[in-house]
Structure 1
Amino acid sequence: MMVQRWNKKRAHFPLIVFLFGLFILSSILYNELSIRQIHQNPDHDDGHRYQDSITSTTMKLPSRPNRVPEVLDRFTTCNSTVKYSGRKGWWADSKPGPDRRRGTSERCDMFSGKWVFDNTSYPLYNESHCPYMSDQLACHKHGRSDLGYQYWRWQPHYCNLKRWNVNEMWEKLRGKRLMFVGDSLNRGQWISMVCLLQSVIPADKRSMSPNAPLTIFRAEEYNATIEFLWAPLLVESNSDDPVNHRLDERIMRPDSVLKHASQWEHADILVFNTYLWWRQGPVKLLWSTEENRVCEELDGLGAMELAMEAWANWVATKANPLKKIFFVTMSPTHLWSREWKPGSEGNCYDEKTPIDDESYWGSGSDLPTMHMVEKVVGRLGSKVTVLNITQLSEYRKDGHPSIYRKFWEALGPKQLSNPASYSDCIHWCLPGVPDVWNELLFHFL
Structure 2
Amino acid sequence: MVTTETFKDRSFSPTKTLLPWTVCALFPIALIRLFFYPLPFSPFPKTDLSRSTSNSITYHSSLSVSASPPSSASTENGKTNETKSCNYFNGEWVSDSRGPLYNDTTCGTIKKGRNCITHGRPDLGYLQWRWKPNECNLPRFEPQTFLQLIHNKHVAFVGDSVARNQLESLLCMLATASTPNLVYNYKKGTDNQFSRWHFAPHNASISLYWSPFLVHGIEKSNTDLNNKLYLDHVDEGWAKDMDQMDLIVLSFGHWLLLPAVYHEGESVLGCHYCPGLNHTEIGFYDVFRKALRTTLNSIIDKRRGKGNGIDIIVTTFTPHHFEGDWDKAGACPKTKPYSNEEKKLEGMDAEMRKIEIEEVEDAKTKANEFGRLRLEALDVTKLALLRPDGHPGPYMNPSPFVNGNVEHVQNDCVHWCLPGPIDTWNEIFLEMIKKWENQPRTED
Distance 2:426 2:215 in 1: 24
Distance 2:129 2:223 in 1: 34
Structure 1 residues 277 and 399: alpha-carbon distance in aligned structure 2, compared to 1, 3 A threshold:
same
Partner of 2:359: 376
Structure 1 residue 307 corresponds to structure 2 residue 291: yes
Partner of 1:238: 218
Structure 1 residues 305 and 214: alpha-carbon distance in aligned structure 2, compared to 1, 3 A threshold:
same
Aligned residues: 323
Partner of 1:128: 105
> Where is the strand percentage greater, Structure 1 or Structure 2?
2
Structure 1 residues 208 and 150: alpha-carbon distance in aligned structure 2, compared to 1, 3 A threshold:
farther
Q: List aligned pairs for 1:188-199, cutoff 5 A.
A: 188-199=165-176
Structure 1 residues 246 and 267: alpha-carbon distance in aligned structure 2, compared to 1, 3 A threshold:
farther
1:162: how far off?
A: 2.8
Residue ranges of structure 1 left out of the alignment (5+ in a row): 1-102, 339-344
Distance 1:209 1:159 in 2: 40
Of 387, 404, 417, the residue aligned with 2:395 is 404
Distance 1:186 1:439 in 2: 15
Structure 1 residues 156 and 436: alpha-carbon distance in aligned structure 2, compared to 1, 3 A threshold:
same
Aligned with 1:271: secondary structure? strand
Partner of 1:62: none
Partner of 1:214: 194
For normalisation by structure 2, the TM-score amounts to: 0.66
Bigger drift between 245-254 and 173-182 goes to 245-254
Bigger drift between 303-312 and 327-336 goes to 303-312
Structure 1 residue 417 corresponds to structure 2 residue 406: yes
Structure 1 residue 117 corresponds to structure 2 residue 95: yes
Distance 1:127 1:324 in 2: 31
Distance 2:413 2:246 in 1: 33
Structure 1 residues 364 and 217: alpha-carbon distance in aligned structure 2, compared to 1, 3 A threshold:
farther
Distance 2:383 2:414 in 1: 15
Of 376, 386, 389, the residue aligned with 1:385 is 376
Q: Per-residue displacement from partner, 1:113-148 (whole Å, max 9, x unpaired)? A: 11122122x211112111111101000111101111
Structure 1 residues 161 and 128: alpha-carbon distance in aligned structure 2, compared to 1, 3 A threshold:
same
**Cα contact 1:238–1:245 (8 A) shared by 2:** no
**Cα contact 1:251–1:286 (8 A) shared by 2:** yes
Partner of 1:137: 114
Aligned with 2:112: secondary structure? coil
Coordinate RMSD, CA, aligned: 3.1
Partner of 2:42: none
1:412: how far off?
A: 12
Distance 1:335 1:350 in 2: 9
Of 204, 208, 228, the residue aligned with 1:228 is 208
**Equivalent position amino acid for 1:389 in 2:** V
1:246: how far off?
A: 11
Structure 1 residues 347 and 299: alpha-carbon distance in aligned structure 2, compared to 1, 3 A threshold:
closer
**Equivalent position amino acid for 1:404 in 2:** Y
Structure 1 residue 437 corresponds to structure 2 residue 412: no
Aligned with 1:380: secondary structure? helix
Comparing both chains, which one has the higher relative contact order based on Cα–Cα distances under 8 Å and sequence gaps of 6 or more?
1
Q: Per-residue displacement from partner, 1:233-289 (whole Å, max 9, x unpaired)? A: 00011129xxx89961110111111513113442111110111111124x31234x5
**Cα contact 1:114–1:358 (8 A) shared by 2:** no
Partner of 1:334: 321
1:163: how far off?
A: 2.8
